[in-house]
Copies of this chain bind each other. A is one copy, B any other.
Amino acid sequence: MLENKERTELKTLGEFGLIKHLTEHVEIYNPSSVKGIGDDAAVIKYGNEKHTLVTTDMLVEGVHFDLTYVPLKHLGYKAITVNLSDICAMNGTPKQVTVSYAASSRFSVEALEELYAGMLFACKKYNVDLIGGDTTSSTSGLIISVTAIGEADKDKVVYRNGAKEKDLLCVSGDLGGAYMGLQVLEREKFVFKDNPNLQPDLVGNDYILERQLKPEARLDIVELLQKLGVTPTSMIDVSDGLASEIIHICEQSGVGCELYEDKIPLDPQTFDRAREFSLDPTVCALSGGEDYELLFTIPMADYEKIKNVPDFTVIGHMTAKSSGINLIAKAGTSHPITAQGWNAFQ
């Protein structure tokens, strides 16, 4: 991606020079960003009726991403959107982000420019201000830490712990695609290692590759819920896998759940590729993670408001805690759901 570009070593600019260089295209979109980059701290002004939302995520090379097949621009984009997704999962609107990163001398100025370009692209798309951060070196690899700040009307903030018995369990978009995109990328990496002359075979995988490499935060869903007059009783974003997120909601809300396997929304590409890899598509959705869709519960009374929204799927309903958290398989049998999603220390 960076071939044929001039290479400038980080040390030629130095820390302050690098910050200045990288931040010169930062734009401020919100009047609430009183002071952004360039001081000890950023200054934000909020109104009266709002809650401030703050979330942070760290991405580590070799753990969360593999630069053999992840372009830095995509990585920058994803580093921002996964944080914005957490703000959306509170039913909030992201407004600002801070970005810190540590990079080893393996990275050139141009490489960090790519990373930054992806970040700023995401900021522009979501109307979010990059208001500060930290830039430093690492002894090996690249580490990115993003903090996102957002706001929501005080009475519209949605937690994980508000789901009630009989509430409907809904999800936006489709699931398992990001995981299948990763499988394709890993396969091609393996093929490439074996024979560097082979070109990667990515044809027909555009959707799942984009799900993996360039995930979006579902701010549109937050806005749609607002327009529909629906405030979910609980909400979470699908970062670790559907199973793990359902368990979070159930445990924190003190309820059980019945999830219907045949309702889980899968894109045909996800389904086909899973079959090709001899994987169960349902397991990909349950344990794959990184889809960044919104999983939420609504009272049955709100069903009429959402039933015709193509982007929403009702995938189950909440039950008494004593009933447990179960998957109702296509055959009608019931199976306890256990979390087998992403775990950084496994």
Bound CA span A137–B63, Å: 7
Which 8 residue pairs across A and B have the least CB separation, nearest first? A145-B145, A41-B55, A40-B89, A136-B344, A62-B139, A40-B86, A58-B100, A44-B52
A96 within 8 A of B: yes
* A265 proximal to B (CB < 8 A): no
Q: Is the CB of B58 within 8 A of A145?
A: yes
The residue among A102, A132, A136 with the most chain B CB atoms within 10 A of its own CB is A136
Interface segment, A153-161, A268-276, A306-314? A153-161
Closest to A58 in B: B100
State in angstroms the CA–CA spacing of A161 and B61 once bound together: 37
The answer, among B34, B46, B90, B147, for a CB contact under 8 Å with A56, is B147
Q: Is the CB of B143 within 8 A of A138?
A: yes
Query: How far is A197 from B147 in the complex, measured between Cα atoms in Å?
Result: 45
**A187 touches B (CB below 8 Å):** no
Other-chain contact of A55, B40, B64, B143 (Cβ < 8 Å): B40
Is A298 an interface residue when CB atoms closer than 8 A count as contact?
A: no
Interface size on A, residues (CB 8 A): 73
Cα-based distance from A41 to B150 in the complex (angstroms): 9
Tell whether, in the assembled complex, residue B60 and residue A138 are in contact, meaning their CB atoms are under 8 Å apart. Answer: yes
Q: In this assembly, does A224 line the interface, its C-beta being within 8 Å of a C-beta of chain B?
A: no
Question: A10-22, CB under 8 A of B: which get 1 and which 0?
Answer: 1101111010000
- Asked, given contacts A63-B139, A143-B102, A345-B11, whether A53 binds B41 with beta carbons under 8 Å apart, the answer is yes
**Counting CB contacts under 8 A, is A200 at the interface?**
no
Distance, CA A76 to CA B111, complexed state (A): 31
Within 8 A of B (CB), among A98-157: 98, 100-102, 131-141, 143, 145, 147-150, 154, 157
Does B63 lie within 8 Å of A102, measured CB to CB? yes
Residue A92 is within 8 A (CB to CB) of chain B in the complex:
yes
A residues neighboring B (CB under 8 Å): 10-11, 13-16, 18, 34-35, 38-46, 48, 51-58, 60-64, 86-87, 89-90, 92, 96, 98, 100-102, 131-141, 143, 145, 147-150, 154, 157, 159-161, 235-237, 252, 342-346
B52 touches A86 (CB 8 A): no
Contacts of A141 in B (CB 8 A): 139-140
Q: Give A266 Cβ to nearest chain B Cβ, in Å.
A: 24
Chain B residues with CB under 8 Å of A39's CB are 90, 159-161
Q: CA–CA, A11 to B258, complex, Å?
A: 30
Residue of B with least CB distance to A41: B55
Given contacts A54-B149, A58-B100, A149-B54, contact A89 B41 (CB under 8 A): yes
Report which of B15, B53, B92 forms a contact with A345, defined as CB distance below 8 A. Answer: B15
Contact of A34 among B51, B100, B145 (CB under 8 A): B51
Instruction: List B contacts of A237 (CB < 8 A).
Output: 40
- Whether B63 lies near A53 (C-beta < 8 A) is no
A145 neighbours in B (Cβ, 8 Å)? 56, 58, 100, 134, 145
A42 touches B55 (CB 8 A): yes
- Closest B residue by C-beta to A10: B345
How far apart sit A102 and B63, CA to CA, in the bound complex (Å)?
10
